[in-house]
């Protein structure tokens, strides 16, 4: 089923930078009404001004997706303003790199609250509206290739992304008879600030993934997915390679990662562990608006 974009309404969480910001701009270019959500109000104002200056239609709704009431307000504002929500993009996300035995349960829970529960809250709030719409709707959740393959030091992040993938898969079969499509995007390394704003508690330098896919290219994939929904989309080459080898040689991938951990532990310490105050785990991070998730 091919869905139209022009004249429809899309809600995007985590829209203040990176993937979310570029996705908002791409939907606006395609003629959609954009409802942009995020924690940084001034970033949202800048984004909405840019969309409106180009002739687009958009509103900003400052939202912390870990708060169910704020998420319910987000969906309600979208419906009150534009009369419907045709597409929901669950994009808000934070990162945490830490050894499992050393990280706090509070930090682990925070990652789950934003990356997983934020999407659950938004999906729960939007479904009644989509059910009443003759054309149904589309729910797109941005997971990660780490929602298919777990990596060391990323237990919380991987858990949140695996949970998001499983939730989306189950929900898809539950609502498809109501003309509601549920899709999951599994990107690899993207040009966003998440590599800098993630809470790095390992003392290890984050690997320099290359090449990173520009956020605007992923935004185009998301808009195309809203137009022609797919159950799952794995992008780009690095994610496809990880997915391929993990499907056909998972033990080999385990071995490669397991061998790599002692090397990193012994020779890779070069980064100063971040405190929560220098990451976006609990508070907003201030980086250039054009970069980051």
Q: Which residues are catalytic?
A: 157
Burial of 227 (0-12, 13-18, 19+ CB in 10 A): middle
Q: What angle in degrees, to the nearest 10, is found between the helix axes of 18-29 and 41-53?
A: 20
The H-or-E segment that residue 111 falls in is helix 105-112
Rounded Cα gap, residues 158 and 247, in angstroms = 17
| Secondary structure (3-state) at 159 | helix
Q: How many CB atoms lie within 10 A of CB 15?
A: 32
Beta-carbon contacts of residue 134 (< 8 Å; ≥ 6 apart)? 179
């Amino acid at each position: 089923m091919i869905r139209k974009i022009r004249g429809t309404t899309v809600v995007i969480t985590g829209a203040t930078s990176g993937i979310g910001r570029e996705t908002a701009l791409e939907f606006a270019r395609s003629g959609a009404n954009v409802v942009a959500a995020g924690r940084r109000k001034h970033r949202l104002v800048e984004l909405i001004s840019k969309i409106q200056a180009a002739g687009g239609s958009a509103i900003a709704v400052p939202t912390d997706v870990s708060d169910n009431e704020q998420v319910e307000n987000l969906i309600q504002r979208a419906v009150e303003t534009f009369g419907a929500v045709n597409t929901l993009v669950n994009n808000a996300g934070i990162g945490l790199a830490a050894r499992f035995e050393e990280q706090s349960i509070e930090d682990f829970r925070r990652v789950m609250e934003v990356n997983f529960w934020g999407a659950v809250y938004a999906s729960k709030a939007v479904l009644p509206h989509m059910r009443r719409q003759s054309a149904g709707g589309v729910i797109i959740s941005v997971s990660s290739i780490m929602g298919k393959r777990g990596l060391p030091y990323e237990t919380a992040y991987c858990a949140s992304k695996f949970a998001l993938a499983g939730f989306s898969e189950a929900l898809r079969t539950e609502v498809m008879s109501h003309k509601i499509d549920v899709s999951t995007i599994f990107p690899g390394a993207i040009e966003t600030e998440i590599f800098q704003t993630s809470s790095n508690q390992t003392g290890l330098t984050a690997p320099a993934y290359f090449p990173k896919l520009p956020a605007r290219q992923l935004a185009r994939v998301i808009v195309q997915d809203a137009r022609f929904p797919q159950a799952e989309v794995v992008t780009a080459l690095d994610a496809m390679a990880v997915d391929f080898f993990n499907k056909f040689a998972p033990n080999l991938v385990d071995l490669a990662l397991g061998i790599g951990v002692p090397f990193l532990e012994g020779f890779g310490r070069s980064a100063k562990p971040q405190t929560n105050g220098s990451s976006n785990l609990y508070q907003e991070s201030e980086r250039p608006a054009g970069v980051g998730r």
